[in-house]
């Protein structure tokens, strides 16, 4: 029983990180119907920016995190307003091509600036601290913090979309941007704000990931895959579904790791394919 409980707990904690990877992607797709294949590379880019702020500029971690969130918000707004708004349309191919190009540029730029060596962000020993639960189950403090951040982000997004004027503008633009534009709402500005918020979520994911493990410039596509799988398993456009999808993916991988160390990632992909075959809309799809 303790082994099963350990698998479940560790899977939920790992799934929280995957769900945090996917929150920004879920927001972008839910508002703009934009498939951002550079999503994972943006996570790695912001992780390296955090590394530069702490290890190279010598800033304390808390100040570097604040600066990272500000940089992320501004970068997301500018990238969407200046680049992605130009290719945003009902045809997804244009945004796929542009974001794929951004992915290649980011990977090569990071290798030029930081080399191909993996880097990590020091959290002053917090990343190695743990708690011991009944049954002699050890739980890391950083994964617990990641779970808390992910749940708070999910609550925050639900509140933003359900209770605020900006959220209503997001939902209306997602449903019918032509009609919304006739009501005086700027699609370009709405999309840029959505991407800015998505980049803040990406920055949170980057910080948690970089403190948890070492990252390299070419890790982006793997993180993108985990984010896509979490979004699709949970249901497109549903933030609680994205959280659930990340948990399912994390628990499944932990079961695979328990069976054989080489089976963890594979079993996660198998479950993703099974969900696509049995319930392609995901477990908690967005209701209309």
Domain ranges of the chain: 2-114+138-278
What CA–CA distance (Å, rounded) separates 268 from 259? 13
pLDDT higher than 70, residue 288: no
Least confident segment among 33-37, 208-212, 239-243: 33-37
Confidence of residue 186 (pLDDT cuts 50, 70, 90): confident
- Comparing C-alpha atoms, which of 184, 232, 164, 198 is closest to residue 32? 198
Q: Which of 125, 130, 129, 144 is nearest to 9 (CA)?
A: 144
Q: Whole-angstrom Cα distance, residue 130 to residue 174?
A: 42
Percent above pLDDT 70 for the chain: 97
- In this structure, are residues 76 and 200 in contact, taking their beta carbons and an 8 Å threshold? yes
Q: What angle do CA 135, 141, 142 make, to 5 degrees?
A: 135
Q: What's the sign of the alpha-carbon dihedral 281, 148, 263, 122?
A: positive
CATH code for the part of the protein at 2-114+138-278: 1.10.3470
d(CA 253, CA 256): 5
Read off the pTM.
0.94
pLDDT of res. 90: 64
CB 224 within 8 A of CB 106: no
């Amino acid at each position: 029983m303790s082994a099963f409980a350990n698998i479940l707990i560790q899977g939920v904690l790992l799934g929280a990180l995957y769900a945090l990877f996917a929150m920004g992607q879920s927001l972008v797709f839910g508002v703009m119907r934009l498939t951002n294949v550079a999503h994972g590379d943006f996570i790695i880019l912001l992780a390296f920016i955090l590394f530069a702020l702490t290890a190279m500029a010598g800033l304390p971690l808390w100040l570097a995190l604040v600066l990272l969130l500000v940089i992320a918000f501004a970068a997301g707004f500018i990238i969407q307003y200046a680049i992605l708004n130009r290719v945003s349309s009902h045809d997804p191919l244009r945004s796929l091509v542009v974001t794929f190009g951004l992915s290649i540029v980011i990977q090569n730029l990071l290798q030029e600036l930081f080399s191909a060596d993996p880097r990590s962000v020091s959290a002053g020993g917090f990343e190695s601290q743990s708690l011991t639960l009944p049954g002699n189950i050890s739980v890391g403090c950083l994964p617990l913090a990641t779970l808390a951040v992910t749940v708070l982000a999910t609550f925050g997004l639900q509140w933003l979309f359900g209770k605020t004027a900006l959220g209503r503008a997001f939902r209306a633009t997602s449903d019918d941007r032509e009609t919304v534009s006739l009501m005086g709402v700027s699609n370009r500005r709405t999309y840029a704000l959505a991407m800015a918020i998505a980049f803040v979520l990406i920055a949170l994911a980057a910080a948690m990931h970089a403190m948890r493990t070492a990252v390299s410039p070419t890790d982006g596509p793997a993180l993108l895959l985990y984010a896509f799988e979490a979004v699709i398993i949970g249901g497109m456009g549903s933030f609680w579904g994205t959280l659930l999808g990340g948990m399912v993916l994390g628990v499944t991988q932990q079961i695979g790791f328990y069976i054989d160390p080489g089976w963890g990632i594979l079993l996660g992909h198998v479950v993703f394919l099974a969900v696509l075959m049995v319930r392609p809309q995901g477990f908690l799809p967005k209701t209309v």
